[in-house]
């Protein structure tokens, strides 16, 4: 599966933006998406492509946090650059 196939899926870019520079729990991400199956699928795809990292924390209660890898941050940066170019181009016309 290519990165473009993953990014083209519903909620993919929204999840990347939501996580950005902070770690987020599964439940925080699921609140954004409102669909546990979609949330799990996107997170699994991102983890397989090394776009995000899944960290299990052993506090009082076992919890899982997701954060973007360097690759994930670079992908998000490129997405933002492309969107800015599109906005800039549409303002010129």
CB atoms within 10 A of CB 16: 20
Give the pTM: 0.86
CA distance to 7, 34, 51, 52, per residue, from 70 (Å): 17, 27, 8, 9
- Percent of the residues in the chain that have a pLDDT greater than 90, as a whole number: 76
Residue 59 in this model has a pLDDT that exceeds 80: no
Question: What pLDDT score was predicted for residue 37?
Answer: 96
Task: Indicate whether 13 pLDDT > 80.
Answer: yes
Q: Return the CATH number of the domain spanning residue range 3-92.
A: 1.10.10.10
Q: What is the pLDDT of residue 6?
A: 87
- Confidence label for 58 from pLDDT (cuts 50, 70 and 90): confident
In the chain, where are the structural domains located?
Answer: 3-92
What is the spatial distance between Cα 66 and Cα 45, in angstroms, rounded to a whole number?
13
């Amino acid at each position: 599966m290519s990165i473009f196939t993953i990014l083209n899926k519903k909620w993919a870019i929204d999840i990347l933006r939501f996580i950005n520079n902070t770690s987020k729990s599964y439940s925080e991400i699921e609140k954004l998406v409102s669909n546990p199956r979609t949330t799990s699928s996107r997170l699994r795809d991102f983890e397989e492509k090394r776009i995000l990292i899944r960290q299990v924390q052993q506090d009082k209660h076992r919890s899982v946090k997701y954060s973007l890898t360097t690759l994930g941050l670079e992908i998000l940066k490129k997405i933002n650059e492309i969107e800015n170019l599109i906005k800039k181009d549409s303002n010129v016309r």
